[in-house]
A = this chain, B = another copy of it.
Amino acid sequence: MPKISFKANAMPASPIRKLVPFADAAKKRGVKIYHLNIGQPDIETPSSFMNAVKNTDIKVLEYSHSAGNESYRKKLCGYYKTYDINVEASDVIITCGGSEAISIAMMSCFNPGDEIIIPEPFYANYNGFSCAANVIVKPIISTIENGFALPPISEFEKVITPKTKGIMICNPSNPTGGLYTKAELEALRDLVKKYDLFLLSDEVYREFCYDGKQYFSAMQLSGIENNVVLLDSISKRYSACGARIGAIISKNKEVMGAALKFAQARLSPPGLAQIGAEAALDTPQSYFDGVKKEYIARRDFVIEALNKIPGVFCPKPSGAFYCIARLPIDNSDKFCQWLLEDFNFNSETVMMAPATGFYSTPDAGIDEVRIAYVLKIEDLKHSINCLAEALKVYPGKTAGKKTNNHLQNG
């Protein structure tokens, strides 16, 4: 029997999905599970999206252009314009989800062995895509105590080597909910310019910024137009995760030329979903206003409820729909598995993502979990209640760390 590749062995299993077998077993035992483990919103996909798909009169479902339908890319530029991101259709390649955008960007920009710096905790699948592209992730820690703000530039410079080829950020951030300020991004710009690095910026949560705080795109940074590669997706914007429509966007013609060759090899992005995505560009602002209001209510509830549990600390996020909470526990992997295998409260339990999967540094995040507040408030009430009850009886409970709690309401 021939051996699978080294890369296949090295690929990390998804930390978000690896507990699924335990959840399935719990469901079979009749336990209701509240899924706070995955960024799958319960928000309805806009009717504009679904109706366009339903009303299509396509007779032959043909390949689209490898870069995506031109009509969609042109209209998409108008959307970006509303965020002061000035791009043309030729700067945009439609991809199969944000995932393919990351994958193509990494293959286009980085050689095997090149290093990229990523503030951690970061979206776990960056590890998978880096592994697939043979790129080395150099993490630098952002901490829960200061609400996962961008680490000081000096921390980036400490890990820069001749092999450093890029920096990758997620803004607003999955998994922290953090939103970088304009000043933080300008500091990054200076660093990127100084060392002539690529800046890969994953901004799929731009619709989810709260408390009047301003989203500022890496594409708005002047002077590094050839360094920035924007990675995007409609999954969260329109609650259309299953559509698999994303985009890779850059003013760097060499990067886009390379990306197009990778895009041509796989022929075209999903066709039906492009029809929905193009139509969804006409989604009225009231849809987004309603969604945002809902998420703010959910966030406010979750953060307050979490911080009321003895020993729990959770800074208040400014964007996306995640938070990372520190719990009074020995090990979040064990705890999250225990919640599914050995615990229930009134035949209910909660599924969360152990934060260790979002760190690349060993043992970092060992007492933290990522919570996706993607359920209705009533369900969130049950969820957090389950968690509170679980923490009363979990065998691996600890005293918890002392934390300066001023950030709870930040």
Give me the interface of A with B, judged by CB distance under 8 Å. Answer: 1-9, 11-14, 17, 38, 40-45, 49-50, 53-56, 58-64, 66, 96-97, 99-100, 103, 107-112, 114, 125, 128-129, 132, 134, 165-166, 196-198, 226-227, 239-244, 252, 254-255, 257-258, 261-262, 264-273, 276
Partner of A107, one of B7, B40, B271: B7
Q: Is the CB of A243 within 8 A of B266?
A: no
How many copies altogether? 2
Partner of A261, one of B13, B63, B270: B13
Min CB distance A150 to B, Å, is 21
Chain B CB within 10 Å, residue with most, of A42, A60, A61: A61
- Knowing A11-B265, A63-B40, the reply to whether A272 touches B5 (Cβ < 8 A) is no
Contact partners of A242 in chain B: CB under 8 A: 61-64, 268, 270-272
CA distance A140 to B57 in the complex (A): 45
CA distance A366 to B198 in the complex (A): 40
Contact partners of A125 in chain B: CB under 8 A: 264-267
Contact partners of A12 in chain B: CB under 8 A: 261
Partner of A244, one of B41, B111, B270: B270
Q: Is the CB of A5 within 8 A of B267?
A: no
Q: Is the CB of B265 within 8 A of A129?
A: yes
Min CB distance A64 to B, Å, is 6
Q: Is the CB of B241 within 8 A of A267?
A: yes
CA distance A269 to B97 in the complex (A): 9
Min CB distance A73 to B, Å, is 16
Contact partners of A270 in chain B: CB under 8 A: 96, 242-244, 270, 272-273
Min CB distance A204 to B, Å, is 12
- Knowing A271-B243, A271-B244, the reply to whether A1 touches B108 (Cβ < 8 A) is no
